[in-house]
Structure 1
């Protein structure tokens, strides 16, 4: 019930005309359900989630970093194709290919993580991986709207290494920190945190995007929001007035840039979370 309330509440927030009353009810239901769940778990002999997991600071930090990076990951997977379709005018298949190198380089990052886990502290590994992700995030915030397609392939490959290194190391470290009897519980919670972060951040990105586009439409009386939606589809974009295309692309670029800026904040938060892990052992 807690997850259902949170997810539906953020879905309503992400809508253009989000209803505040429904959002408030969802948050209240989620808060009360969470309190009841924790209260019950403390008394249960065989809990669904052993609350002792959260007494391990490194486990909490590893899970928190995995969640925040997953929030950035969903931004990358959704808004890079939006950029390449809307601003570069590429078809959907080619636009989606822009994120493909990240999947390939994710494997490389996983291999690197496997070699580092036995040699470096969790904090050191995450500092390295988050720095790689930070570089890619900063580049996405700074690149202009006419950035060529091949540049996104390079950015995707660089971020893929960071994603693979971060997610693999946090998953393995979280499993290593807990009692073998509850490894499955720790792994499932780690996965849940990542999925929930992606759901919540996707709604927040939608809010940022909608607000920026609405502001752009208000500043340019000759364009409408429907034109921006048509711009993302190369087939419908051909039907738009040619003299309005530069303005439409500038507004769309501002929206995507603001989304990337919000996602950059997540990476910075992840770096901040990682600083709290002061363990001196591997």
Structure 2
């Protein structure tokens, strides 16, 4: 595949790099804000008298609407201009964040979070598309996208520090006020530093396709989250089935429209399709392992959420290192070779995680997690670049939206599948190990999960076997991740040898 710009494209100057720094702000904010919100949940529960279910909706409604709206916002950006969509979305995100910060009831907060999700869906596709337009030269474009990916990881790394500092000194609403100055900076500097794009102007804003795209994504994400939380159920299966049916109707409609909402023909390009599948599967194992690591740190190592977040910070820096180094490596080697080598490194990291446990459990865990993230960093940066650069200029926003949606769905599947692997292993290990005479309610909780066992007031003797069983499940999930990562690495390397060198 050859890039659409070619090696002869003009190099960007200082103004473009300053513009990239501004565009990186919403990417950093998105991950940072999510981390800080999770830390703020206990304070929100106490102040707004929120139930556990309401707290889940505070987090999940944002994620649902964000994932469901990405394709819609990317397609509209192609039509009416990506800079315009970014500015409108930034204003909306700032206003919704202000509403969330000063919410007087949990219902008001949940509503504000939903609005933040819809507005937030404008940020990543527009940011990626505008960064691509700022840097037509292939090498600079790859570096720019790596900077965006690294910014997301940086937000994850500093989130616990920023969140802990804010929540120690101010009220929980300060977690949402973070977005207001960032959005103000975007509104002032983007019109100055980022050239205006008018979009294609072709085709109407297809509301029915937009609704179908939401109906395809939201039920699937909901069903996956239900599987991760409660195991396989008819509700989860029905939700996924509804989403799949909506996706089929959406695809049929796009093929019949003269100006489709999303150009599904993008997937006929082997580079685009392969990069998208690699990105989905790479994030599948990354989010699944991150979920497992967070559970291990808090439930087995008994760390507070803040301390657990600090122990996960080194792995975020691993992604930053891997994603920023990737463009340099891609100048000397095929991008597919760099991606494949990174995935092999990640497989070694997952193999390290299979040894977690015992006296050196935390050291082994952090070492394995850093190796995993350093290997997946190049995959995240280069796969995103390959997806966007292989799309026609008029479809950059749609390609960026798909590149943003793919990891969301892959990650949701990863949490559900690997979380289910841990849960199933846990139940298999603890079955029949409880002492004779254990009360029925205690036995039920013990055989359900480590979290349920830890909440029991009279189950101290069961905590050690429960933690050992969870650790075994963690090791099995890490083993599954080794197999998935190694298989994807093999496929990417073989496919890359059949293709042509990409700048």
Secondary structure class of the residue paired with 2:252? helix
Q: TM-score if structure 2 supplies the norm length?
A: 0.51
Q: 1:144 aligns with which of 343, 354, 357?
A: 357
Contact 2:280 2:406 in 1 (8 A): yes
SS, match of residue 219 in structure 1: coil
Structure 1 residue 226 and structure 2 residue 226: aligned? no
| Cα distance in 2 between the residues matched to 1:93 and 1:103 | 15
Residue 250 of structure 1 corresponds to 468
Tell me the residue number matched to 1:260: 478
Could you tell me the TM-score, scaled by structure 1's length?
0.87
Report if the CA contact (8 A) 1:65-1:273 is conserved.
no
Mapped to 2, the partners of 1:213 and 1:263 lie a distance apart of: 17
Secondary structure of 2:434's match? coil
Q: Does 1:46 align with 2:264?
A: no
Q: For residue 279 of structure 1, what is the aligned residue in structure 2?
A: 499
1:264–1:231 distance in 2 versus 1, CA, 3 Å: farther
User: Counterparts in 2 of 1:132-171, with a 5 A limit?
Assistant: 132-171=345-384
Counterpart selection for 1:182 from 382, 395, 411: 395
- Give the CA deviation at 1:239: 6.9
Q: Secondary structure at the match of 2:470?
A: helix
Could you give the per-residue CA deviations for residues 227-270 of structure 1, whole angstroms, max 9, x where no partner exists? 521666xxx699743x5443222112112222223333331332
8 Å contact from structure 1 (residues 88, 146) kept in 2: no
* 1:124-145 CA distance string (max 9 Å, x none): 1111111111110111123334
- Residues 68, 269 of structure 1: 8 Å contact kept: no
Shift of 1:61: 0.9
Q: Which residue of structure 1 aligns with residue 219 of structure 2?
A: 5
Q: Which of these two proteins has the greater Rg computed from alpha carbons?
A: 2
Alignment of 1:5-84 (within 5 A): 5-16=219-230, 18-20=232-234, 22-84=235-297
Cα contact 1:209–1:255 (8 A) shared by 2:
yes
Q: Give the conservation status (yes or no) of the 8 Å contact 1:53–1:178.
A: yes
- Relative contact order higher in (CA < 8 Å, ≥ 6 apart): 1
Could you tell me how far apart the structure 1 residues matched to 2:458 and 2:241 are?
46
Find out whether 1:201 has 2:423 as its counterpart. Answer: no
Cα deviation, residue 47, structure 1:
1.9
* Unmatched runs of 5 consecutive residues or more in structure 1: none
Number of aligned residue pairs: give it: 277
Displacement of 1:174 in angstroms is 1.6
Does the 8 Å CA contact 2:288/2:416 hold for their aligned counterparts?
no
Instruction: Go from structure 1 to structure 2 and tell me whether the alpha carbon gap of 1:91 and 1:231 turns closer, same or farther (over 3 Å shift).
Output: farther
- The two structures, once aligned, show a CA RMSD in angstroms of 2.5
- Measure the CA separation in 2 of the matches of 1:17 and 1:120: 43
Unmatched tracts of structure 2, length 5 or more: 1-214, 436-441
